[in-house]
A = this chain, B = another copy of it.
Amino acid sequence: MKIRPLGDRVVIKMMEAEEKTKSGIVLPGSAKESPQMAEVIEVGPGGMVEGKEVKMEIKTGDKVIFSKYAGTEVKLDGQEYTILKQSDILAVVE
């Protein structure tokens, strides 16, 4: 089963503290201090969105920082995801 986001939306999955550390980020305190990092699971096709051409800059597997409270949380197969617009993604961590 697969979530296919529409328009300029992307599906992301919150990263666990240990995953974040593995990717090189030092989290001296609690993981709760940095809850805005996630991995991109699915990317919408972009195109005309509310009358404006949107090109997707994000790709599956990107580690991203996103706006707190942005998007809608959904639960599929016991796993929680967030669906948000690409414009709510602030940056990619490389």
Residues of A within 8 A of B (CB): 1-7, 9, 11, 23-26, 28, 33-34, 36, 42, 44, 48-55, 57-58, 65, 67-68, 72, 74-78, 83, 86-87, 89-94
A91-B1 contact, Cβ under 8 Å, with A52-B51, A72-B36, A72-B68:
no
Task: Pick from B1, B7, B65: contact of A83, CB below 8 A.
Answer: B65
Q: Which residues of B contact A2 (CB under 8 A)?
A: 93-94
Q: Which residues of B contact A74 (CB under 8 A)?
A: 34, 36, 65, 90-91
User: In the complex the two chains form, is A52's CB within 8 Å of B55's CB?
Assistant: no
Q: Which residues of B contact A3 (CB under 8 A)?
A: 65, 91-94
Task: Pick from B4, B51, B58, B68: contact of A91, CB below 8 A.
Answer: B4
